[in-house]
Structure 1
């Protein structure tokens, strides 16, 4: 039987959204405070619902979070959670009640504030043409612009395909062998 999680009161999410949906590669970025999805996700769902309407489904990488559950109750709504091995670990995909898809960069919780803020601003920038792994690995240049390092923009699979050489773990985190958070 699928597990339904009823979370504690939601915290205000660290969220940056593009001014207009659909004009960017990703629709914005989310910087959770921890890898505890039950604590982090309710605030995000509420914030997204205020702007886009009801959120009915969220898709995540199966190796990224400390806990896995299939349903989350947020106020009077139940959000279905889908876990995918091939979804980019730095991507969260939300589907609204009108079947609109929102793609959000997930900035790892332990990211330095300046780096996280730069990545969040880039993800919400209508001029951004980079995918999630490239946004996270971008380095500042002398003029404040960013350049990408590491992966080639064209080598990154589309949102439905995941990302190359992710190794099945989130950036900077090795899941516990028992599946129980350490």
Structure 2
């Protein structure tokens, strides 16, 4: 089978997982319409649940746009119930954003919280993105969420160790 024929075939997932999704109560007055926190970067596993939830709120979803480099897998068509959703992959779209187009040509912009984000930071970012008063863009919201990493004491300890010739690289990753 030619590669283009395989690529065009819609995939269907029998039981999509419930998405971690918060949608704004008011549309059109904010930078974002909500936030989504996928459990992985596997588009085939994550997108069906998201599309199902968006269909409940906005009706038919015709198209999704995602960043091509952020995701591990790429599907081009997705079947969710009776609906087929086209998926476009773009290098220029910010990895922190997913754009959905409804059957009425409304655009739904979602913050995409990286799967490995700590739960407290993800909750803060998702709440900010769904806040009707939000005026920040998706990358700014994620930048404000603290990222897990070594504590200041740990970082200082390795800096001293490096200065004494003990290491040639970064400190070991926390387990």
Instruction: Extract unaligned runs of 5+ from structure 2.
Output: 147-175
Q: What is aligned with 1:175?
A: none
Are residue 95 (structure 1) and residue 107 (structure 2) matched? Answer: no
Q: Give the Cα separation in 2 of the matches to 1:133 and 1:42.
A: 24
Which residue does the alignment assign to 1:14?
A: 20
What is the correspondence of 1:124-143 to structure 2 with a 5 Å cutoff?
124-139=130-145
CA apart distance, 1:5:
1.4
When normalised by structure 1's length, the TM-score is 0.75
Structural RMSD (CA): 1.1
Counterparts of 1:14 and 1:58, CA distance in 2:
17
Q: What's 2:123 paired with? A: 117
Cα contact 2:122–2:145 (8 A) shared by 1: no
Alpha carbons 1:8, 1:39 under 8 Å: kept? no
The C-alpha deviation readout for 1:56-77, integer Å capped at 9, x for no partner, is: 1000001011111210010111
1:81 to 87, 103, 107: 87
Which is higher, the Rg of structure 1 or of structure 2?
Answer: 2
1-structure distance, mates of 2:58, 2:74: 25
Q: Which of 110, 134, 142 is 1:104 aligned to?
A: 110
Contact 2:34 2:130 in 1 (8 A): yes
Query: Residue 151 of structure 1 aligns with which residue?
Result: none
Normalised by the size of structure 2, how large is the TM-score? 0.78
Find the residue that maps to 2:44 and give its secondary structure.
helix
Aligned residues: 140
Unaligned runs of 5+ in 1: 141-182
Runs (4 or more) in structure 1 with deviation over 2 Å come to none
Matches within 5 A, 1:62-81: 62-81=68-87
Corresponding position of 1:145:
none
Task: State the SS of the aligned residue for 2:126.
Answer: helix
Shift in alpha-carbon separation, 1:90–1:20, aligned structure 2, 3 A: same
Q: Distance in 1 between matches of 2:70 and 2:12?
A: 20
